[in-house]
Amino acid sequence: MKIAVILGTRPEITKMAPLIKIYQQNQADFFILHTGQHYTYQMDKVFFEQLELPQPKYNIDVGSSSHAEQTGKMLIGIEKILLEEKPAVVLVEGDTNSVLAGALAAAKLGIKVGHLEAGLRSYDRGMPEEINRVLADHLSDLLFAPTSKAKQILLGEGIDEKKVFITGNTIVDTIFQTLELARSGKDVISDLNIKPGRYFLVTLHRQENVDNAVRFGSILEGLGKIAVRHKLPVIYPIHPRSRKQMSLFGLQSDNLTIVEPLDFLGFLQLESQARLILTDSGGVQEESCILGVPCVTLRDNTERPETLEVGSNVLAGASAKRITESVDIMLKKKDKWANPFGDGRAAARIVKIITEEVNG
Ligand code: UD1
Ligand code: UDP
């Protein structure tokens, strides 16, 4: 049984990593197809190096462009490779354009599609990710839901229960496998001249935030205010999209420490020791919850409601006032929460299910 792992962006690499490692250890017949959606060293290759992953067999180098152009180029490139390689199953993870293109190209060729992180919904069709994840789920033959809530969402949309498996999220596997290494590795905290537990960590890159000058400006204002109010440094490893938009809009970043995107182990070290994390990232909402660090989400909704339910996360939107209020609330949190995303064995479960379901 030949398996194609299709990925294209930083979060897909971190979440596919434990699965790829199992296939590598088992000497399974598999290959990695990289779409090239992310291509800068700090957004791409550094993750392969640090997570000790094999190089992709193919990289179709689509690079950056509009949604339709990027997705279209991916479809053309992926189809050619799938026709040649004839895998029995294509695996995709998450909600990016690479996921949509991989699932669509495979489904049209009659190749089975497995979707990791199925069943997440923000119910906000203004997000490109929501469109991608709904379509990917409905194109898939095997849907790996991280939680029972995600499974219920899929059943509610009429997806056959036989196709849906609750597995946990593979990001828990990745964190369990790398946290020690991240903590004992290069001392990013000292390099930044900050102290454990005495800084805020920010990530912000979502299209609906950073491509909107008013929202982006208002969030930066809120971040500046919390730095002054709590007398703590605010570290913002900036995504290339956000860097570009900030300079396009001429926005200022008073009181923030803006740094280049960090490698995975360095970022994990910063996450695990932060006083509080502010983010609009899907993955970072999960990681903060798993690591026991309070989170304020800079969005009006989330497809990770489990984090709100366990109390690790609150939604603050883009208003400077709500951001400062939300930080005050989360800093008072004393009790710890249970991790709702699984036990760190999601990848092994997924591999077993694929073998059973595809081999019959
Ligand atoms: C994409 C995903 C988003 C995910 C994010 C992870 C879609 C629709 N969006 O958003 O869901 O959360 O990846 O980080 O699939 N750029 C670089 N170097 C790179 C990649 C991008 O400089 O390696 C810059 C380019 O200017 C590009 C911009 O970032 O135009 C946006 O990149 P793109 O891949 O289109 O979307 P992301 O914002 O990265
Ligand atoms: N990440 C990283 N360096 C950074 C910011 C994020 O290694 O400077 C990692 C983070 O730990 C997580 C993944 O990138 O595993 C999340 O990617 P991102 O926030 O870009 O995408 P999303 O999860 O929102 O799709």
For 187-331, CATH gives 3.40.50.2000
What residue segments make up the domains of the chain, in order of their start? 3-169+342-359, 187-331
Average pLDDT over residues 215-240: 98
pLDDT digits (tens, 9 = 90+) for 288-301: 999 999 999 999 99
Structure tokens at 344: 């760190």
Report the interhelical angle of 213-230 vs 240-249 (nearest 10°). 100
pLDDT for 360 beyond 80: no
Average pLDDT of 160-164?
Answer: 98
- Catalytically active residues are 205
Question: Which atom of ligand 2 approaches the CA of 263 most closely?
Answer: 7
The predicted-structure confidence for 333-344, as pLDDT tens digits, reads as follows: 988 999 999 999
Strand, coil or helix: 8: coil
Q: Is the CB of 313 under 6 A from ligand 1?
A: no
| Mean pLDDT (whole number) for 12-28 | 98
Q: Which residue has the tokens 């969005």?
A: 299
Relative to the alpha carbon of 240, which ligand is closest? 1
**Region class of 357: left (phi > 0), else alpha (psi between -120 and 50), else beta:** alpha
Q: Is the CB of 236 under 6 A from ligand 1?
A: no
Predicted local confidence at residue 353, as pLDDT: 98
For the chain, the average pLDDT equals: 97
State which fold the 3-169+342-359 domain adopts: Rossmann fold (3.40.50)
Q: What is the DSSP string of 64-87?
A: S--HHHHHHHHHHHHHHHHHHH--
Which of 14, 37, 43, 260 has most ligand 1 atoms within 8 Å of CB, for mutation?
A: 37
Main-chain dihedrals φ then ψ at residue 206, nearest 5 degrees: -70, 140
- Give the pocket of ligand 2 (CB within 6 Å): 10-11, 14, 203, 205, 237, 261-262, 264, 267-268, 281-284, 287
In the reported structure, the alpha carbon of residue 160 is separated from the centroid of ligand 2 by a whole-number distance in angstroms of 32
Cβ contacts of residue 80 below 8 Å, gap of 6+?
Answer: none
pTM for the whole thing? Answer: 0.98
Q: Percent of the chain at pLDDT above 70?
A: 100
